[in-house]
Amino acid sequence: MSNYIDPKVLESGNVLRYLKLEFLEQPSKETLFPFLECMRDSIVYVPMNAILSENDQLRLRNVKVGTRWKNEDEIRMRPDILKSPDGKLWFPVFTQKEQIPEDYNSGFSIMPMHILRCIGMAHATESVSGLVVDAFTEAASLPFEIVDIIPQLPSRLNPN
């Protein structure tokens, strides 16, 4: 039996969501590590805001109806940050697009991202406590003490 998994198995987010629910129902090392190992190889969805340069913002304000507009400067993307009732800030990631409520989704660009990139972005964001997975459904808040284990885990994706 191989220890590797086919990347296609993880594409839908169903396995990651299932392992997250198992961890939430029975929090223990036995349920945490399969969840973290699956996250290690997963693509998640991150709500992002497009940030235009001041020059592009000014040009956009002056566009006439029917005129075609194109940015001149690079558009930066900034992740949304959520605040929990206790005042902590969390970097949200979603196992599946379907876990993002429509009313929330409509205000952002939803970007697929590898979890390792998300961890780096979360660390680069001031005052963030960690990741929150599926914040509006069955939320799993993972402080950096747990999140920082993920990059240390070996990939289980089939190398072929």
- The series of mean pLDDT values per 10 residues for the chain, 160 residues long, is 71 91 95 94 90 70 76 74 94 95 86 94 94 95 96 82
Burial of 35 (0-12, 13-18, 19+ CB in 10 A): buried
- Judge whether 130 and 119 are in contact, CB under 8 Å: no
- Whole-prediction pTM value? 0.83
Q: Residue 67: its pLDDT value, please?
A: 78
Q: Residue 8: its pLDDT value, please?
A: 82
